[in-house]
Structure 1
């Protein structure tokens, strides 16, 4: 397959964000992360119907997020191999936050169908802004520096997030002060 992915694709149009509005489309992008695949291969690996995969690939193709990179004649028909348009998708504008919820739905579906015991670790901890920025930078660097082991190896999903949840409003003056234990 000679049609290589570009490094980055900016996701900024309404059509692109709409294309990402369904969890299965995210899962298709996950599955096409490194290798091209046919509709049949994708349907089998994702446990869904070929017609469903074909529809969602068409939406992603129309939005410029996947493309056909090879065709082969098989048993009187034409088999198409699809590949992601880019290794990384950069999100801009208002749609980025809306996309997060759908992405997490797709990851939840991936975790439910995962083999073995997937690691999922959620922790809430108090950090200074500087500590949070340093943690985010280290995790980002660690994930982006991972080197793909090649086509013969199993595909793994890696999800990393550092976020600051909405903080509750103090309802009582002591809520903002450090409480001291009684003597």
Structure 2
């Protein structure tokens, strides 16, 4: 098969994001979408450009930034008529941002918004604010993480669905805004 990479699927591991170059790499929506696209199987620059409706040179530039930040790597190569094709792969199946930074978070939300806009199926998006004790918030966070981690994947011929989980505590209003 011409479009199948010549190596096994990525390992089941977790990468914690924390280095400045990683946050810089995550601060662009196309790089977020590239990471989404590489979530299940390695791909070449040409395959990614076609999948994301982008220009090959632009995709190559953003892959280089992701590679330099340690978020993707070259997982294999294959000789083709015009030279050598490189297959890119995420360095981890799951990437966890322990202390999110505004630019990376904004880019991730922008990338998710683009994915939602392009979705051919009905989407589900809910924002709800709850009053929770610290213990209940921790319990909810653990339950959500477990639910996502334990979701069973189906065969490769099934569509890919994105799941974004966020649990955060709202900042309290400052005295200047609460007295107005």
TM-score range (shorter-chain normalised) is 0.7 to 0.9
Unaligned segments of structure 2, at least 5 residues: 1-6
TM-score (structure 2 length as normaliser): 0.83
Corresponding position: 1:135 with 2:140:
yes
RMSD: 2.1
Question: How far off its partner does 1:159 sit?
Answer: 0.8
Could you say what secondary structure the match of 1:37 adopts? coil
Aligned residues, how many?
A: 170
Corresponding position: 1:146 with 2:151:
yes
Asked whether the 8 Å contact 2:45–2:59 carries over to 1, the reply is: yes
Unaligned segments of structure 1, at least 5 residues: 173-183
Question: How many angstroms apart in 1 are the aligned matches of 2:136 and 2:98?
Answer: 25
- Give the structure with higher Rg (CA): 1
Question: How many angstroms apart in 2 are the aligned matches of 1:54 and 1:97?
Answer: 25
Asked whether the 8 Å contact 2:10–2:41 carries over to 1, the reply is: no
Partner of 1:162: 167
- Of residues 154, 161, 179, the one that matches 1:171 is 179
Distance verdict in 2 for CA 1:92–1:132, change over 3 Å? closer
TM-score (structure 1 length as normaliser): 0.82
Corresponding position: 1:17 with 2:26:
no
- Of residues 70, 74, 78, the one that matches 1:68 is 74
